[in-house]
Structure 1
């Protein structure tokens, strides 16, 4: 075992590991050991995880033991399921890898699925489809279910008609800072149930949850790819067209500078494009009529909008599945006027020097604006648009990419909602202080979250995140 390069006492780490090893059924690793790197790998290669200890949990008891151990030794707890979530420095932390907790069970009669902590969306989508059902998943099916839902969860097909995924959670099993496994519902522990759904990973390690499924087997949708040189013409039509869509339809756009990868179809390989995403729940004829104004603007490079089985939902956004180094930022817009769109085109269009791989605008609205029957901590209701921008590159390109991301945020600031961000899109550079996170959630919501944090995690064991500090 080697831990000296990580800035803490190696002998103390060895003693602690020996103590914990008697309770762990899965893996227990420190830096330098075989398997450590794989167990603590991250999706964003610019945010490596370098924890003091890694527990590859084989069961819920392992999670409890790891949390008790961390709290008892004044170490923070970090959680890794798929490695997509943003985590701050983990060098003193106990990292709990939950990827082995991979059970999925569908109750088709009640349209409920039980999902364990390490499950990815594609597993739920495929299992639910066997019963003619669909979950409220996100744009990427490689993302973990639990982390997505703890941040609210906005998807490309069902969200505008059904709301955030967190609204449809029935029960959450969570290990809190005292090491106790709690079965949390709206009736059993209403404050914690409220905070978990939107408060991200601040309140414990979720080991399983139960959520509703929907009787959906197919949709009409996909992507239209236009040459980047034609983006202004398309975007100004999209801006007004999107505002008139029914709740059964969802859309977003992304300005993309695509890599020259062989798996991309020829028209898109290495291309500069505007990607218009669209999905409609209902007859294909209705969906075709809805998308017609966009098709009429100009001939696309590729038209991949068609009737699809729900299992093909990942084809709408075509998010990259493989880990990569990137920098990203996000903002919320209160309006998308002609002036706003002109600024967006100026920043990302053919006349710009934009080095970013993707800059997208997601149109929200519909059920995403409505408060659910059982309230949660999601802060973005009532916000019509989210902008998410990302540049691919390592630390040698940090200045260029982060500088341009800052430029986009400044230029769009006149139309931005102050401080507000979609929690699942927060990057390591955003909401780094309690005051900034208070702006994200709003003063009253943050106050309540901080009070609940004090009740369940007074020592702030779960702090390797966008941290809600105990009141």
Structure 2
């Protein structure tokens, strides 16, 4: 089987037991050991076409992986299609558009666009694959001022479940274009996309930290402050228990801190005025706010750049008040010393994230004004304490948790019900129609497929 596919594509094909198989199959979340039947490394669009057609004939599902950030369950069968080699970026400064290959990370797009005084609307981590992130919608440090990242997509090149190359944009296959902006999976293999860039070279932003005695005060102040925050300001809070390890920066090592992240796409004086109430709400332990070039937007959240094991539980939230602040503090606050979650965050959304694009899109969670995520990094707790703590958070935060989640937020535990809840009923039904049209056999449902003994469809 390996030799048949290897004769048809320019990239390498691995099967279980081959040297290099484990490295080729590995994802970013080391909690999952992936063991598909085959791994095919695509070096061209033709390779993707041949791999999809081969998988269809062989009766194998196709799981797409570029940077490996996507999978939240073990990949135990099928053909894992590695698109990381499709890594070209082209920027057209006249149309303010970037053409992005399937394997490109956001940092490469940021760097290419910055040469023309432009920037993409990215997520919090510049190391995440651009295509996979955008297919789920995507909210980053400019969410309130600029909206979902998928709102800036202008077109996609897709290999369908039948192995045909099609274009999806406002004029060609508009139903598929609608679905790809937020529909996440089961829509073929995206080999290239076009996104609109914005004229922005710097922001006033960064983060500041408060120490343990002041965490509750800051959480409660931030919660109230967001209610009247400027639509141009995007903020979030993160409670973190930093381990006493040498690789942790000395000011953070062994500390339990709360960071407040702030981004305002404007000048420093106005940014300082807007952040002043937050800065003055509690003593600041470490201040990292200032004018940032857009090439440094990733430093606002400072997401881990290297693979690690993690149990992540995410929920969209309709609103926030002091009751939610109490639930957050009970889960990851200074007194939650026995919590398996070493990190917990809440992000303020709303404003531009509530405004859909002309013609609409498939983004889930557009009606939510906040999002929360809890992270456990101790593998020995992933099967026991972490799921129990996630269930407890869901109970505490139930009055605020949105009925509709988002596929980029979903994470653990993956169940059919939780996958279904990533879209409102009408959008989910329309997505099923589009999936049936472009991938009727569910070939590219990927790692979502084996959910609770059946498909996510």
TM-score interval, smaller chain: over 0.9
Deviations 1:350-392 (A, max 9, x none): 2222221211101001110012113110021121111111100
Give the structure 2 partner of residue 200 of structure 1.
184
How many residue pairs get aligned? The number is: 452
Give the structure 2 partner of residue 8 of structure 1.
none
Give the structure 1 partner of residue 400 of structure 2.
415
Deviations 1:15-63 (A, max 9, x none): x212212111011111121211111111111122211101011111111
Give the structure 2 partner of residue 51 of structure 1.
36
In 1, Cα distance between equivalents of 2:322 and 2:74: 41
Give 3-state SS (helix, strand or coil) of 1:62's partner.
helix
In 2, Cα distance between equivalents of 1:449 and 1:470: 12
Q: Does 1:297 align with 2:281?
A: yes
Q: Does 1:224 align with 2:208?
A: yes
| Greater CA drift, 421-430 or 143-152 | 421-430
Give the 5 Å matches for 1:443-462: 443-462=425-444
- Displacement of 1:247 after TM fit? 1.9
Give the structure 1 partner of residue 10 of structure 2.
25
In 2, Cα distance between equivalents of 1:316 and 1:260: 23
In 2, Cα distance between equivalents of 1:470 and 1:327: 21
Q: Answer yes or no: is the 8 Å Cα contact 1:250–1:363 preserved in 2.
A: yes
Give the structure 1 partner of residue 77 of structure 2.
92
Give the structure 2 partner of residue 351 of structure 1.
335
In 2, Cα distance between equivalents of 1:152 and 1:52: 30
Give the structure 2 partner of residue 123 of structure 1.
108
Give 3-state SS (helix, strand or coil) of 2:292's partner.
strand
Give the structure 1 partner of residue 130 of structure 2.
145
Q: Answer yes or no: is the 8 Å Cα contact 1:81–1:99 preserved in 2.
A: yes
Equivalent of 1:400, from 373, 382, 385? 385
Equivalent of 1:268, from 235, 252, 267? 252
- Displacement of 1:142 after TM fit? 0.6
Give the structure 1 partner of residue 326 of structure 2.
342
Deviations 1:304-327 (A, max 9, x none): 011111111111001011111111
Give the structure 1 partner of residue 447 of structure 2.
465
TM-score, normalised via structure 2 length: 0.95
In 2, Cα distance between equivalents of 1:459 and 1:88: 21
Give 3-state SS (helix, strand or coil) of 1:278's partner.
strand
- Displacement of 1:438 after TM fit? 2.9
Q: Does 1:134 align with 2:116?
A: no
Q: Answer yes or no: is the 8 Å Cα contact 1:167–1:374 preserved in 2.
A: no
Q: Answer yes or no: is the 8 Å Cα contact 2:87–2:104 preserved in 1.
A: yes
Cα 1:176–1:397 change in 2 (3 A) is: closer
Q: Does 1:175 align with 2:159?
A: yes
Q: Does 1:282 align with 2:241?
A: no
Give 3-state SS (helix, strand or coil) of 1:413's partner.
coil
Q: Does 1:391 align with 2:389?
A: no
TM-score, normalised via structure 1 length: 0.93
Q: Answer yes or no: is the 8 Å Cα contact 2:410–2:418 preserved in 1.
A: no
Q: Answer yes or no: is the 8 Å Cα contact 1:52–1:90 preserved in 2.
A: no
List structure 1 segments (4+ residues) > 4 angstroms apart after TM superposition: 467-471
Unmatched runs of 5 consecutive residues or more in structure 2: none
| Greater CA drift, 97-106 or 330-339 | 330-339
Q: Answer yes or no: is the 8 Å Cα contact 1:333–1:384 preserved in 2.
A: yes
- Displacement of 1:442 after TM fit? 1.5
Deviations 1:126-167 (A, max 9, x none): 11111111001100011000001000011102x212211111
In 2, Cα distance between equivalents of 1:45 and 1:21: 28
Give 3-state SS (helix, strand or coil) of 1:423's partner.
coil
Cα 1:397–1:78 change in 2 (3 A) is: closer
| Greater CA drift, 197-206 or 392-401 | 392-401
